[in-house]
Amino acid sequence: MKICVIGTGYVGLTTGVCLAESGFDVTCIDKDVNKIRQLNEGEVPFHEPGLDSLLKKVMVGKKIKFSNKIESAIRSNDIIFIAVGTPSMEDGSADLAAVFEVAKSIKKNLNAFKILVIKSTVPVGTNKKVAAILAGRGGKSKTRFAVISNPEFLRQGKALADYKNPHRIVIGGTNQRAIDVIMKVYAGCHCPLIVTSPENAEIIKYASNSFLAMKISYINEVANICERYNADIREVAAGMGLDPRIGDRFLEAGIGFGGSCFPKDMKALVHFADLVDYDFKLLKAALAVNERQKLLPVEKLKKNLGSLRGRTIGLLGLSFKADTDDIREASSIALINCLLGEKVKVRVTDPRAEKNMKRLFPEINYFDSPYEMADGCDGLILITEWPEYSALDFKRIKPKLKKPLLIDGRNLFDPKTMKKLGFIYEGIGRN
Ligand code: UGA
């Protein structure tokens, strides 16, 4: 079977490479000529563990091609996965311009029956809108295509493992012939396959991401209470998580969630709820809690240092989580903005995300080594739980600091050990 994947972001590229590994002949399309050039040279344009080597493997087997020629790719493939971005607009709604543009290209090149598979995260009703674009005036070409909603649940940093071991595959559609074909595409996956309506599939994606984000905001609020009552959120979360109705995942308190998905999808869900006159209060509160949580380290700095004007503060990590160079909606951005507003001299280090951050904040000081960064700092804030930071030699770091203050935004370190080493240690939700 031949498959075309449009969009080579981390969802599109992972999907394309994994489909090629499963034996399909895959053509990946992207508008960005630089990306296509890099991919043709066997280089992944972003950091995603394992994707580089799998890409090289499928390229050797000639199972994958990269091109920016969308028309010919549409004409020569009958299954087309759409994995283009749907970023937030100012009012919180998802920007569907890229999805509709692809739909229009497909309409122009409908030379045979085509199955469109929407992998991009799109609001409820988009499947129908895409179908309307393809049908055209009077719905003339209705018999020549089917639109399937097939949301993706993989995480950045764990994209390959999640793609290969999904918890469920959701296929939303109304055309049985197309549903059967897509079920065959996923025949190798050993997980529940949910065949449902396009609307249900679209909502499943938003409701899942928003629920997970809400869980994080909830545990973060509980953590803030723990701090005030001399309790430890790690132990509280462990005690909660043993109840299978709650579950032990996504109960890690910290300085808020980021990334290209949770905030964007929550805002879009609030927006499409608004469109039907529904005020989704819970999600609005979860978003507000997250914004407050991102700035928690500033309060902790002030508690320990008083005025921050002229202080030098070092940030360990910039990306929104470990194993990615992505800084979209990262807590580090809100923090840097706030620290700069307080006239702090900001120093940063990150194993992968420096290049992306430099575009946003060229004026701050970047360091390759956390040890060099620490030299002369009034305090450090751990932003991202990179494994290399767990292995830092704090005996070496302490004498370099003007004040041995460590704010652990991800509860990565053991408070007792850090205190024994002579640090003023502040975790999140831990006494
Ligand atoms: C998220 C979902 O987990 C995926 O299922 C989904 O496919 C993806 O969005 C998407 O829609 O594309 P991702 O954004 O890659 O994946 O990141 P997560 O691993 O879910 O983490 C998101 C944020 O939550 C990170 O900033 C992380 O630090 C934070 N987090 C996570 C916590 O603060 N506490 C936790 O317990 C878990």
Give the model confidence (pLDDT) of 118-132 as tens digits: 999 999 999 999 999
| Nearest atom (ligand 1) to Cα of 385 | 28
Residue nearest to atom 6 of ligand 1 (CA): 153
Residue nearest to atom 5 of ligand 1 (CA): 153
Residue 141 has pLDDT above 90, yes or no: no
> Ligand 1 centre from 262 Cα, in Å?
7
Q: Could you read off the pLDDT of 55-71 as tens digits, one per residue? A: 999 999 999 999 999 99
> Ligand 1 centre from 108 Cα, in Å?
37
The pLDDT, as a whole number, for residue 366 is 98
The pLDDT, as a whole number, for residue 1 is 87
pTM of the model: 0.95
Residue 41 has pLDDT above 70, yes or no: yes
The pLDDT, as a whole number, for residue 136 is 87
Ligand 1 in reach of 413 Cβ (< 6 A): no
Q: Could you read off the pLDDT of 218-248 as tens digits, one per residue? A: 999 999 999 999 999 999 999 999 999 999 9
> Ligand 1 centre from 257 Cα, in Å?
7
Ligand 1 in reach of 261 Cβ (< 6 A): yes
Mean confidence (pLDDT) of the chain: 96
Cβ within 8 Å of residue 126, ≥6 positions away: 96, 99, 118, 149, 202
Residue 142 has pLDDT above 70, yes or no: no
For residues 405 and 423, the answer to whether their CB atoms sit within 8 Å is yes
94 pairs with which residues across the strands?
A: 88
Residue 14 has pLDDT above 70, yes or no: yes
Residue 149 has pLDDT above 90, yes or no: yes
> Ligand 1 centre from 311 Cα, in Å?
32
pLDDT band at 293 (very low <50, low <70, confident <90, very high): very high
What mean pLDDT is predicted for residues 251-264? 97
The pLDDT, as a whole number, for residue 185 is 96
The pLDDT, as a whole number, for residue 140 is 60
Catalytic choice (4, 18, 261, 377): 261
The pLDDT, as a whole number, for residue 347 is 98
The pLDDT, as a whole number, for residue 138 is 67
Residue nearest to atom 24 of ligand 1 (CA): 257
pLDDT band at 310 (very low <50, low <70, confident <90, very high): very high
> According to the 3-state scheme, what is the secondary structure of the chain?
CEEEEECCCHHHHHHHHHHHHCCCEEEEECCCHHHHHHHHCCCCCCCCCCHHHHHHHHHHCCCEEEECCHHHHHHHCCEEEECCCCCECCCCCECCHHHHHHHHHHHHCCCCCEEEEECCCCCCCHHHHHHHHHHCHHHCCHHHEEEEECCCCCCCCCHHHHHHCCCCEEEECCCHHHHHHHHHHCCCCCCCEEEECHHHHHHHHHHHHHHHHHHHHHHHHHHHHHHHCCCCHHHHHHHHHCCCCCCCCCCCCCCCCCCCCHHHHHHHHHHHHHCCCCCCHHHHHHHHHHHHHHCHHHHHHHHHHCCCCCCEEEEECCCCCCCCCCCCCCHHHHHHHHHHHCCCEEEEECCCCHHHHHHHCCCCEECCCHHHHHCCCCEEEECCCCHHHHCCCHHHHHHHCCCCEEEECCCCCCHHHHHHCCCEEECCCCC
Ligand 1 in reach of 250 Cβ (< 6 A): yes
pLDDT band at 139 (very low <50, low <70, confident <90, very high): low
Q: Give the rounded percent of residues in the chain with a pLDDT score beyond 70.
A: 99
Ligand 1 in reach of 407 Cβ (< 6 A): no
